[in-house]
């Protein structure tokens, strides 16, 4: 199994043929004025939802199975997990798998770079993961 890429974008269109069009790749967001000066712990609604898109490829026949995985949002500094969601990645009927997740809000603990980790377990010894970052200023 190989991680190809992971991106945050402001919009996407998926076609029945399997192709996708990503619009406006996002790497930065401005915090609302009321939150900018105070490192409070709150849920921040995102006016126009973000999409996290991660592409993975099955390199070998042994990769053609279901993998357990998880999506994590990491606080600035990368030490604290702010949210986590368990997922399944099903490669039984495809060699290219795209994980698409809509992000309508996120936990906010202060300014800095937040990381979204897409982790697939049971690959090598420690798993394989993709990462997309959002700098909140």
Are 133 and 113 a contacting pair, CB within 8 Å? yes
Angle CA 20–23–132, to nearest 5: 90
Segment among 31-35, 65-69, 81-85, 90-94 with least mean pLDDT: 31-35
How many H-runs (helices) and E-runs (strands) does the chain carry?
Answer: 1, 9
Please give the share of the chain, as a percent, with pLDDT higher than 90: 58
CA atoms within 13 A on the CB side of 84: 6
Q: How confident is the model at residue 75 (pLDDT cuts 50, 70, 90)?
A: very high
Distances (CA, A) of 48 to 19, 104, 106, 114: 23, 8, 12, 18
Are 2 and 56 a contacting pair, CB within 8 Å? yes
Are 122 and 91 a contacting pair, CB within 8 Å? no
What structural domains and CATH numbers belong to the chain?
Answer: 2-136 (2.60.40.10)
The number of residues making up the chain comes to 137
How far apart CA 82 and CA 75 sit, in angstroms, is 6
- For 37-71, the pLDDT digits (tens) are 666 788 888 878 899 999 999 999 999 999 988 99
């Amino acid at each position: 199994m190989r991680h190809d890429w992971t991106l945050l974008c402001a919009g996407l269109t998926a076609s029945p043929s399997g192709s996708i069009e990503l619009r406006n790749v996002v790497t930065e967001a401005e915090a609302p004025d009321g939150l900018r000066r105070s490192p409070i712990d709150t849920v921040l609604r995102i006016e126009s939802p973000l999409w996290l898109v991660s592409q993975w490829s099955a390199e070998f026949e042994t990769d053609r199975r279901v993998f357990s995985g998880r999506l994590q949002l990491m606080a600035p500094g990368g030490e604290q997990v702010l949210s986590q969601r368990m997922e399944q990645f099903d490669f039984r009927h495809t060699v290219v798998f795209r994980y698409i997740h809509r992000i309508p809000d996120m936990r906010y603990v202060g300014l800095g770079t937040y990381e979204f980790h897409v982790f697939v377990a049971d690959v090598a010894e420690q798993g394989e993961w993709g990462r997309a970052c959002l700098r909140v200023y």
